[in-house]
Structure 1
Amino acid sequence: MKQTGKRLFQYAALFKKPLLIALIFLSVAVATELAGPFIARQMIDTHILGIEKPWYETTSATQTKKAVPYEGTFYKRIDNFAEGEPKGKEVRILQVGSQFLWVDQQIAFDGVRNLADDGKLTITQGTEKAEYAVKKLSIQELYTFYKPEFNSLMKLAGFYLLLIIIGAGFTYGQKYLLQSAANRIIQRMRSDVFAQIQRLPINYFDNQPAGKIVSRITNDTESVRDLYVQVLANFFTGTIYIVGIIAALFVLDYRLALFTLPVIPLLYVWIIVYRKYASFYNHEIRERIGSINGMINEAIQGMTIIQAFRRQKETIQEFEQLNDEYTKYQNKLLSLNSLTSHNLMNVVRNLFFFGLIWYVGGSSINTLITVGVLYAFVDYLNRMFHPMVGIVNQLPNLERALVSADRVFELLDEQGVDVATEKADRYLGNVKFEHVRFAYKEGEDVLKDISFEAKQGQTVALVGHTGSGKSSILNLLFRFYDVNEGRITVDGRDVREMPKQQLRQHMGIVLQDPFLFTGTIASNVSLDDPSITRERVEAALREVGADEMFKSLPHGIDEPVIEKGSTLSAGQRQLISFARALAFDPAILILDEATASIDTETEAIIQAALEVLSKGRTTFIIAHRLSTIKSADQILVLDHGEIVERGNHEELMGLLGRYYQMYQLQQGHPETASAAESEVRSVL
């Protein structure tokens, strides 16, 4: 997991500039927001509760500067006197309940206040008691004493409003920068994953359902995006908030700040315990999502077979099983999240408040804390738990993102081959297999000591029963796989010494079931290669005899092709695939049962084109219809991975062996084939 975090940081480092700016903006936004309780403390302690500070009579010369008239005399609060300014008699204004009282003298000490029915104020502190004659202030009189503070209060309120606006601007900036950077990070990651897919060998896709691979490119990268947009934003914000709040608490009162410090290790332990259990559940959930996507993809691809063989019920049951397993782990994670969610954090917060009341109320510290400090402290404590709740609530997203990142990096770490961009000179096409052995699984050879040579311009046909090794030979030639023993050369050079892309640059292939991409007929021929001109596309279609067929379509060769070319006939798809191979002018042309799925008329068109197009080009043909390979220069008959017969059509027919038997069966002469088989067995 540490390695995953390191690699996620490396991706983030690619866009460090906007992320750093976002972090600075976030710090400014937090600072402006945390200034609020300090301003509130100043308003409460200085300008609201400050009315209880000592007041002094003042001379008429200073009446214009925060002097308050009362019963013919002007008074100023102690903190409004200039340095060296003379003071007269001291008086006090004290609050008891909702009433404000005028005390026309200095008080000896402050403590518990009690107003008797006879208008006497009693102040008690421990065993000491003092009694004062007081006068109740009317609302208008009280307003007069507060009036000098209104200007300062409005300035502080205006300053706070300005901070709110500045904070909102910086918050918008940091969110925009953070999310745009996250989008660019995921864009880069998806590009890397898709590029990695192009580098992976064919056997990787043999062992991985397409839906699971798609899930890693889409679902998993989107979960990683949540890490950068939501999780990191909350963690960054929360961390800066918590650090800033703790610093502010120490400024307010270090004793109260020390009281809150245990919440930090508590949060750390909380995260560790949660991740221990959530990691397993998230791994299982992501695996089930991949399996569900794989099955859905397979079901859609094979819907014709499912419905034709009435397998809908069994398919639904299989899906329900995967869906039930996914739901089971989701519910387990939900239980964990409910147990450790913000509700539990609120309980912890209330316990801290209870502890604070007990601590302040049961100790001498309560006499040293002003109302404004206590208000600011409670406000900060509330603010500190808010980002902590945000962090706790993001823990499920964090685990989901880390698990998804693991799956993405697992794909990126698969051994692949870098795509070579260099252009290679067109080779002649002399192909030679020398004692080649190959197995898809260790100990199960599908090719055994295969040796043959195909010279430039020759046509080599491979025939044999299913599983005899015909397609494996061409897979090795294309380097979809590499040989276990022996070697394959092209123009005398071992294919393993050639970059795969350069080797395939001058090869063309036509499969039995051609794959067409969404686009047009023309784009499927050229594959949007800028070197394949429009004229070349038209020439390729003309040479395979398909130009007239596609001219009848509404848009000609610009006719739209949807996924897999499902609106075209099998013959039309095959002709497009054939024209695609020819448009790239390959030195080696491979036809893997290219005529097996088309009608006789289309086969005749392709056969006629082959006679011209195979000249000067080495052609390999895998064919079940032996009538299509009668003109091949060399025919190799394979059986269980071995070449049992070789020669041209006439030579093999003269052997009266396996090829002769296969040919007679296809021509409708089973009795001749049976006689030939008996003769072969007697010889053996």
Structure 2
Amino acid sequence: MRQAITNWQTDQKTDTGRKQKPQYRSALRVLVSYGAEHRMTFALVVLCTVIAIAAELLQPYLVKIAIDDNLMAGKNDYGGLLTICAIYFGLSILGLLFSYLQSNLLQNAGQSIVAKIRKQLFGHITKLSMSYFDKTPSGSLITHVSSDTEALNQLFNQVILTLLRDGFTLVFILVMMFQLDRTLGMYCLVLLPLIAIIAVAFRSFMRNTYQMARTRLSRLVAFVAENLSGMSLIQAFHQQKAQAEQFKERNDAYYKANIREIRTLVLFNRSFDLLGNLTIAFVVWLGGMAVLDRTLEFGVLYAFITYIRQFFQPVIAITQQWNTLQSATVAVNRIWGVFDIRPEVEDKPQPVRIEREAVQGRIDFNRITFGYESGSPVIHGLGLHIHPGEMIGIVGTTGAGKSSLISLLCRFYDVQEGSILIDGIDIRELPQAELQRIVGLVQQEPYLYAGSIIDNVRMFDESISRDEVIRACEFVGADRLVRRMKDGYETKLSERGSGLSAGERQLLSFARIIVFRPRILILDEATANLDSQTEQLIQQALKVVSEGRTTLVIAHRLSTVMQADRIIVMRRGRIVEEGKHHELLAMQGYYEELYRHAQGGEPGANRGRFQGNFQGSRAANPVTG
């Protein structure tokens, strides 16, 4: 199945590697490959379908025998009629049994396939590069994993079941009609071109309609997801009314697309209703004259009319699944469109292996250049060399490139020029899994999952024992916090750890570092949102976790990095100053300006220059000023 995905992805790319629009047939070909391991199940489904349909379609033929060979012939063969009734009843039970088996077998196979696709889709999304998530709304990804796979689920629940059962029914009915009377059967063949014309006329229009509805639903879900994640900001700035207006626009657009979809479906189905009624009237008129002329038996006419009615039931059923088929088609294309996206950051075919315990922690940034968009670099030819076990403070105003530098070290992105080395090895040569074990990251807002404290500290890795987690929490000072909770380490946290303070969440994130023992530690604004007392606790924990590790600390609060072995000052993607705290102050440069501003003091000439720049920016932008 993975090979099938790879082949499909290869088909979708040009020689230059650019992605083309996924093709419907290619996607379905891959979908069929998922059913290869269920081929025996699908063979049994077909067998059960044939038996169930045969049992159902033989019933009108039995009635025809009873009418022509008994009632119309004037016989009083009650035993023969009783036998026919018994066979009729037996066929009904047989049809019910094999229909039940057919549905269950198909659903078991279908649910297994959909569950596997959903699992692979989620796994593929988690392997995509950060650049993909920068450009893709989270609501769109939620739609892929939930709504699109649910549409795929309906493909097996409804569409395939209907196509199998009703498709065979149509074929068998045609066979039975020709068996009864070839002349009437030939007349009924005129229906097939009419059905094909109606289907072709509606097909492209209906597909565009369903595509529009799915796209607008995705936009609606994305908008809701973004608003829920930023609800505190919306309420703080009283944006409820403005956001409600935007939601109304998207909701109305989705509503109109749904109405258009329903109108199209109703018109499509009613066209077949009209065609079916006209056909029955035609057969009654033509067959009735044949019965009166004694060229056709009445039982044959009865059975023929019954088959005509049964002929249009599967046609209508198939057309009623048309919208589901279209939705599933769009969903398949969207899902495999995600599968078609390759991570920008990938492991080399033969990566370099390195033992984590053997890592010394030397880091070299060799004249690196990087930009999120081509032609707009945010880091320009930066060179930085960090010794093993050294603590480096990284400071600078917003937009200086601090977090971008750290993202490159974690290899969320790849540098466009230059290289980043750990112990002399280019990080692009290392497997990402090993790099992420070597480099530990503590972010400004540590993410906690819904689950116990034990699982959050060990990140659901069962190979890490409970005792190791407890020792790690004791090491960073989080044990007292956990012990105060009702269920201790088994306390269930809600999503994002709501109910815990920022400092408590940060302590648990430090415990993670102890558990996973990375050789290089990165703290990205880890104390930015903490009060002074909590910051002191975090500072103590920082000293503990940084001991023996190469540590990079990004900080807006200069007090966080004052004791660092070295501080680098970044501005517009470049290192403009470098040294210890007192050395940088003695330079009376950009760092001293940042320090005095943070202290709220008067740095003399530098203070005047800073105020002049600030006032100039206010004059240029009075709204933000």
Residues 401-420 of structure 1 aligned to structure 2 (within 5 Å): 401-416=328-343
Most deviating of 630-639 and 474-483: 630-639
Task: Tell me if structure 1 keeps the 8 A contact 2:121–2:145.
Answer: yes
Give the deviation of 1:490 after TM superposition.
1.1
**1:291-350 CA distance string (max 9 Å, x none):** 111111122222222122111111110000000000111111111111111x32121012
What is the aligned partner in structure 1 of residue 404 from structure 2?
Answer: 472
Q: Secondary structure at the match of 1:310?
A: coil
Q: Render the CA deviation track for 1:502-545: whole Å, top value 9, x for unaligned.
A: 21122211111111100122221111112322222112212222
| DSSP-derived class of the 1:429 partner | coil
Distance across 1 between alignment mates of 2:333 and 2:265: 22
Contact 2:130/2:412 (<8 A) preserved: yes
- Answering whether residue 189 of structure 2 is matched by residue 264 of structure 1, we say no
- 1:364: how far off? 9.9
Distance 2:266 2:124 in 1: 39
User: Is contact 1:211–1:293 with CA below 8 Å preserved after alignment?
Assistant: yes
CA deviation after TM superposition for structure 1 residue 360, in Å: 3.7
Q: Output the TM-score relative to the length of structure 2.
A: 0.89
Matched, 1:203 2:131: yes
User: Which secondary structure does the structure 2 equivalent of 1:509 belong to?
Assistant: strand
**Match of residue 118 from structure 2:** 190
Alpha carbons 1:661, 1:673 under 8 Å: kept: no
Native 8 Å contact 1:658 1:677 kept in 2 = no
| TM-fit CA distance, 1:269 | 2.8
Contact 2:506 2:538 in 1 (8 A): no
In the alignment, what sits opposite 1:15? Answer: 38
What are the Cα deviations for residues 262-282 of structure 1, in whole angstroms up to 9, with x where unaligned? 222332333222221111111
The question of whether the paired residues in 2 share the 8 Å contact of 1:199 and 1:419 is answered with no
Equivalent of residue 242 in structure 1, options 145, 170, 184: 170
8 Å contact from structure 2 (residues 206, 323) kept in 1: yes
Contact 1:526/1:537 (<8 A) preserved? yes
2:288–2:301 Cα contact (<8 Å) kept: no
Instruction: Indicate the SS of the match to 2:603.
Output: helix
Distance 1:429 1:365, change over 3 A: farther
- Residue 418 of structure 1: how far off its partner (Å): 7.3
- Which is worse superposed, 233-242 or 408-417? 408-417
Find the counterpart in structure 2 of residue 371 from structure 1: 298
Where does 1:76-475 land on structure 2 (aligned, <5 Å)? 146=76, 149-341=77-269, 343-360=270-287, 367-416=294-343, 425-426=355-356, 427-475=359-407
Q: CA deviation at 1:675?
A: 5.5
Partner amino acid, structure 1, of 2:301: L
Pairwise CA distance, 1:654: 2.1
| Change over 3 Å in CA distance of 1:659–1:443 after alignment to 2 | same
Separation in 2 of the partners of 1:502 and 1:436? 22
Q: Quote the residue 2:419 is aligned against.
A: 487
CA drift at 1:13: 3.0
2: distance between equivalents of 1:519 and 1:527? 10
Partner of 1:120: none
Partner of 2:433: 501
Give the SS at the match of 2:522. strand
Question: In 1, Cα distance between the equivalents of 2:425 and 2:433?
Answer: 15
Are 1:564 and 2:496 counterparts? yes
Match for residue 651 of structure 1 among 579, 583, 597: 583
Q: Distance in 1 between matches of 2:283 and 2:501?
A: 80
Distance 2:95 2:327 in 1: 31
Task: Give the Å deviation of 1:234.
Answer: 1.0
- Specify which of 593, 617, 620 is matched with residue 525 of structure 2: 593
SS at match of 2:412: coil
Say which SS state the counterpart of residue 330 (structure 2) adopts.
helix
- Mapped partners of 1:375, 1:197: distance in 2: 59
Asked if 2 retains the 8 angstrom alpha-carbon contact of 1:433 and 1:489, the reply is yes
Q: State the TM-score, normalized to the length of structure 1.
A: 0.82
Structure whose CA Rg is larger: 1
The separation in 1 between residues aligned to 2:237 and 2:607, in whole angstroms, is 39
**Equivalent residue for 1:39?**
62
Amino acid across the alignment from 2:453: I
**1: CA distance between counterparts of 2:463 and 2:389?**
24
| Cross-structure match for 2:619 | none
Counterpart code for 2:298: V
Cα displacement (A) at 1:171: 0.5
Q: Deviations over 1:563-612 (max 9, x none)?
A: 11111111111111121122110011100010111122222222223334
Q: Identify which range, 366-375 or 193-202, moves more after superposition.
A: 366-375
Quote the Cα distance in structure 2 between the aligned partners of 1:515 and 1:32.
60
Count of residues paired in the alignment:
583
- Whether the 8 Å contact between 2:457 and 2:508 is mirrored in structure 1 is yes
Q: Provide the identity percentage.
A: 35
AA aligned to 1:512 is Q
Whether 1:30 and 2:64 are equivalent positions in the alignment is no
Task: Mark the CA change 1:350 to 1:612 in structure 2 (over 3 Å): closer, same or farther.
Answer: closer
- Give the 3-state SS of the residue equivalent to 1:487 in structure 2: strand
Query: Which one is further off, 253-262 or 322-331?
Result: 253-262
> Are the structure 2 counterparts of residues 382 and 675 from structure 1 closer, same or farther at C-alpha, using a change threshold of 3 Å?
closer
Are the structure 2 counterparts of residues 11 and 366 from structure 1 closer, same or farther at C-alpha, using a change threshold of 3 Å? farther
Measured at CA, do residues 363 and 48 of structure 1 come closer, stay the same or move farther in structure 2, by a change above 3 Å?
closer
**Hey, what's the Cα distance between the residues in 1 that align with 2:452 and 2:360?**
32
Equivalent of 1:576, from 485, 493, 508? 508
Q: For 2:550, which of 594, 611, 618 is the aligned residue? A: 618
CA contact (8 A) 1:657 1:677 kept: no
**Residues 354-398 of structure 1: CA deviation (Å, up to 9, x unaligned):** 332444456799532111111111111111111011011111111
Q: Unaligned 5+ residue runs, structure 2?
A: 1-23, 614-625
1:545 and 1:606 in contact (8 A); partners too? no
Inter-partner Cα distance in structure 2 for 1:368 and 1:255 = 11
Partner Cα distance (2:195, 2:30) in 1: 25
Query: Deviations along 1:64-90, whole A, 9 cap, x unmatched?
Result: xxxxxxxxxxxxxxxxxxxxxxxxxxx
Partner of 1:128: none
Distance 1:488 1:204, change over 3 A: same
* TM-aligned CA deviation for residue 672 of structure 1: 4.1
How far off its partner does 1:557 sit? 2.6
Over the aligned positions, Cα root-mean-square deviation in angstroms equals 2.1
Encode CA deviations 1:155-197: one digit per residue, 9 max, x unaligned: 1110111111111100000011112222112111111111111
Q: Greater share of helix residues, 1 or 2?
A: 2
Amino acid at match of 1:403: V
Secondary structure in structure 1 of the residue aligned to 2:449: coil
Does structure 1 conserve the Cα–Cα contact (< 8 Å) formed by 2:291 and 2:297? no
Alpha-carbon separation, structure 1, partners of 2:25 and 2:128:
26
Partners of 1:412 and 1:675 in 2: CA distance: 55
Q: Which residue type is aligned with residue 318 of structure 2?
A: I
Within 1, Cα distance between the matches of 2:114 and 2:353? 32
Partners of 1:423 and 1:351 lie apart in 2 by: 75
**Is the Cα contact below 8 Å between 2:381 and 2:574 reproduced in 1?**
yes
Instruction: Extract unaligned runs of 5+ from structure 1.
Output: 52-144
Deviation of 1:419 (Å): 8.9
The 2-side partners of 1:418 and 1:46 are apart by 76
Equivalents in 2 of 1:660, 1:584: separation in Å?
37
Query: When you count strand as a share of all residues, which structure comes out higher?
Result: 1
Q: Secondary structure at the match of 2:167?
A: helix
Q: 1:245 to 1:513 in 2, by over 3 A?
A: same
